[in-house]
Structure 1
Amino acid sequence: MFADFLKVIALFIFPLLLTSVFHHFVVIKRNLWQSLTFPVDFGGTINGERIFGPTKTFRGFVVTIVGASLVTYLTYPLLSTPNVVFYVPSWLIGALLGLGYSIGELPTSFLKRRFDIAPSQQVGGAKGVFFYLLEQVDSVATAVIVALLISNIPISTGIILFTMGSGFHVSIDAILYVGGYKKKLDRPLLLRKLLTRK
């Protein structure tokens, strides 16, 4: 029973986790598929400020959706269980999760632009802590909502997925800073405190 539960968790989290790592450490780092680096807001502005900003591109959407779809399709035979019923084919599970994950980042980007926070930048104080935490849970929350809509998993499992997914998200972000991947960016205040705790 517990083994089946772990399979369910892995089926939802692993495709997005692996795709996220691939996106950051391979695609962005090597600047692959540059033709897709077109902003999803098409350069549009509201009151002179970008809607989402230049860092939210179609490349991110394509990599996340296609990557999660492929990983889910390949791992589904190993991780699927009789107790969890999906209402869509296995390849579409990952695609929808990837779409939900990608869309979830947009509202935060929209809010940051309205608060005059530059793309991929952090600010200090309570506002900085708020937006850093929001960035860690926004896409996870929308992916979990998608998971609840396309399967019969209970809300309790969705809460566990949200908690674990957010934890993985924070961990990857910390690794990106500590490993120097985000060396050009200042570490968020909250992350600095967490990394320097003894």
Structure 2
Amino acid sequence: MIASLYISMMPVIFGGIFNMLFVKIKKLSFLRIPIDCKMSLGGKRIFGDSKTLLGFVGMMLGTSIFSIMWGFILKISGLENCNLIYKYHYNTLIFNMFTGMLFGFAYMIFELPNSFIKRRFDIDASHRGRFPVNIFVFIYDQTDSMLGVISVLAVLGRLTLPEYILGIFLGAITHIVVNLVLIVFGVRRYL
């Protein structure tokens, strides 16, 4: 099951890395429009400057591209049956493009409540508050997007509740490991 979860989620992993690089492209700065349009609620920004149209576009584009490529790789390698989604759906270019966009959209949408909460409590990305709040914020930072992504996988791959929980746990651990690698390579500044 663990291998199948990773095989099913590989486009999201690579899509997230793609997005980290995509949002750094200076020529795309015209898309750095904050999702909250710089609106405030109670004197504080709704989501902040880090949640932008560029991030949404990059994540949806990246997961779509990698879903298409990964579907092709699984087809030619004979590993389609290891992908939980392909047990119930055909591995086609259009389907993979659609699911990739859906994964990317879910990833970004499920990050928004976290950003909203952090703005309310003045918690920025580099300083996560004091104990025990910092532990809760760290865990939520690593699992928020996974809740969305694994929810999409749960519907498409018909996951059971234990499989769903395992997917979120593995997704959070993978998120931490990938972020640590990105820090080492200078793509990210903080976990």
Bin the TM-score by the shorter chain: 0.7 to 0.9
Q: What are structure 1's unaligned runs of at least 5 residues? A: 188-198
Match of 1:162 in 2: 168
Residue type matched to 2:129 in 1? V
1:100-149 deviation per Cα after TM superposition (whole angstroms, max 9, x unaligned) = 11111100000001112235542232111111110000100111111112
Question: In structure 1, what is the equivalent of residue 117 of structure 2?
Answer: 111
Count of aligned residue pairs for this structure pair: 180
Contact 2:23 2:54 in 1 (8 A): no
SS in structure 2 of the partner of residue 163 of structure 1? helix
1:84 maps onto 2:87 in alignment = yes
Partner Cα separation in structure 1 for residue 81 and residue 162 of structure 2: 17
Aligned partner (choices 12, 19, 24) of residue 23 of structure 1: 19
Q: Is the 8 A contact 1:84 1:153 kept in 2?
A: no
Question: Is the CA contact 2:18–2:59 (under 8 Å) kept in the aligned structure 1?
Answer: no
Give the match's secondary structure for 2:148.
helix
Match of 2:37 among 31, 36, 42: 42
Kindly, what percent of the aligned residue pairs are identical? 27
The amino acid across from 2:114 in the alignment is T
User: Which AA in structure 2 matches 1:167?
Assistant: I
The separation in 1 between residues aligned to 2:69 and 2:181, in whole angstroms, is 27
The verdict on how the C-alpha distance between 1:46 and 1:105 changes in structure 2, with shifts beyond 3 A counting, is same
Seen in structure 2, the aligned counterparts of structure 1 residues 178 and 89 have a Cα distance that, compared at 3 Å, is: closer
Amino acid at match of 1:17: I
Q: TM-score, normalised by structure 1?
A: 0.79
Q: CA RMSD in A?
A: 2.5
Matching residue within 5, 23, 26 for 1:9: 5
Under a length normalisation based on structure 2, what TM-score does the superposition of the two structures give? 0.81
CA 133–85 in structure 1, closer or farther in 2 if over 3 Å, else same: same
- Matched-pair contact (CA < 8 Å) for 2:114–2:140: yes
